[in-house]
Structure 1
């Protein structure tokens, strides 16, 4: 490629803050839950680059002709690949698109077609826009894609904080992650956390049914706690992990958990997960340790604990019955019975239709 900005380019990043900023001049956008991508076009040549600079073209073949038809002949765009189904974003369906079999990729491209949501412009023609303030890049982006058609979309943006706060509340049910805040005069700074992200956070009481060793100190330090919730059939479903402990806490956890390791597997609800790769993620009973292409050879072995401990964790949101991201330890709940830790305690956010954003489909 011979562009004003050539690949590979690392995307600009964001640091997390607790609330939508009040002081300063900002442009606010919804935070999309998809694959972050940079799209490069030089004539007929198209590159869809992932956040870690890997090419994604082969996994999203349905997008190539669309990009050739709608993008300027020379440009670099920053955005998100998403799949929207039944009124909300479907990250699970998006993950399934990364498949080694070409026949499967072709089938999924038809069954679960993706969309692009663009929110920044690095260059157009021979003009490198990275040193321009974001408000100017945004204006050029809007001008270029004023007539964009699905599956190409431009993310909504506003300078009004009250609108951003409204989006933060309303769009969560549609699978959006939160709100982005970008200074009006922000230049494009690859691989630097110079934007702000405000994400949803709530708490949940979970059963601790096992743990994994800290990878650098196996047998000496606890790396993560395996969390479970009881469903309506009174089965303990694996819903995720909490981690990010300091070295001191990892060692203290091992001492604290030792009594609960005794005879833990005898009547453990997840004791049969090793009998099959598929049982670890069957639709009826989710357990830890399942092999998949997402594990990428990682050691998913775990140590069982008698499911007698309850922990309060902070999480962002649930997706397909699991925590979408790693949960964070808050405190032990010695006042809670494990059987009281059910899915019923979770806050259910009604979906906000994506029509306000995907105005014309997909």
Structure 2
């Protein structure tokens, strides 16, 4: 019977990072989830949704020659650049093929960070407990002396190590994933847990979706060190009562607003644009954001509004790095 890659096992969020007895923790990477198999000289590299990504990542396909035949891994595609994980480099790769993909692989090669073993030399390992799969994965890396593009995801049962990992947000580590030591690999099941690092910070409201009196979303900015108000991200959709409360602190934008004529994206990595109304960049809000940022320091995921900070002025908000 022909073996095929299963659906990936999934995780559910938890509100705090406690490492429970009987569980292991792994680093959560800011990359593309991917499953790879090498079987009789054929390599499949699939996204979480089943899209074939091999043509876009020829360095991973070529690297599969290091794996034993009839072996499959679960992991994360990442690109490391200038001391941080560069998610934008991955996004730019998806539509490239042939010479374009080869050039991108040469300029910013991707790595496959393996965190689970699905098949080993023809043996389906998904029914094995995590502890056994992990030991076999570590043995695979050691005995085959795997090198780039392969990397082994760190794992631990030490709470102190988890606390250390949670300080690595500046380089793009999103948090931790927890797996039961005796747990099977269950395709499509949310049997793992994940904790994403979030920080509380401030930003300036420069525009809104909806109306000024009752905004549905806030477009956020920070000044750079050249005193230019840069767009840094947006909030999740506001509840109506919250929007009404925020609207009481906003005034419509005046001529000469620093974002006049700008087109603002509906989301990081998409070309869809937002219909926005400019407001005077006077209101500071406190928000919760995760660590996913692009090369310019913009937040890739929507921020969660905590509260207006009428006690702060825009000059109290942290600066954004100058865009070159």
CA positional deviation for 1:199 = 2.3
Partner of 1:111: 107
Q: Matches of 1:145 and 1:127 in 2, distance apart?
A: 17
Kept in 2, the 8 Å contact 1:220–1:251? The answer is no
What is the match of residue 283 of structure 1? none
1:270 correspondence with 2:259: yes
Deviations 1:6-42 (A, max 9, x none): 14x3322222223332442121211111111011222
**In the alignment, structure 1 residue 14 sits paired with structure 2 residue 11:** yes
Instruction: Give the alignment's TM-score, normalised by structure 2.
Output: 0.88
Look up the match of 1:339.
315
Contact preservation (8 Å) 2:71, 2:120: yes
Deviation at 1:71, TM superposition (A): 1.5
Distance (whole Å) between structure 1 residues aligned to residue 97 and residue 213 of structure 2: 41
Instruction: Indicate the larger mover: 173-182 or 133-142.
Output: 173-182
Question: For residue 359 of structure 1, what is the aligned residue in structure 2?
Answer: none
| Equivalences for residues 1-362 of structure 1 within 5 A | 2-3=2-3, 6-7=4-5, 9-67=6-64, 69-100=65-96, 102-146=98-142, 147-169=145-167, 171-213=168-210, 222-245=215-238, 249-250=239-240, 253=243, 256-257=246-247, 260=250, 262=252, 264=253, 266-274=255-263, 288-289=264-265, 294-295=269-270, 298-317=272-291, 318-319=293-294, 320-343=296-319
The two structures have a TM-score, normalised by structure 1, of: 0.79
Deviations 1:199-232 (A, max 9, x none): 222111111111234xxxx999744211101111
Q: Shift in Å at residue 128 of structure 1?
A: 2.2
Q: Is the 8 A contact 2:267 2:300 kept in 1?
A: no
**What is the Cα-based RMSD across aligned positions, in Å?**
2.7
- Pair 1:220–1:99, CA change in 2 (3 A): farther
- 5+ long unaligned stretches in structure 2: none
- Structure 1: runs of 5+ lacking an equivalent: 275-287, 346-362
Flag the 1:49–1:344 CA change in 2: closer, same or farther, 3 A: closer
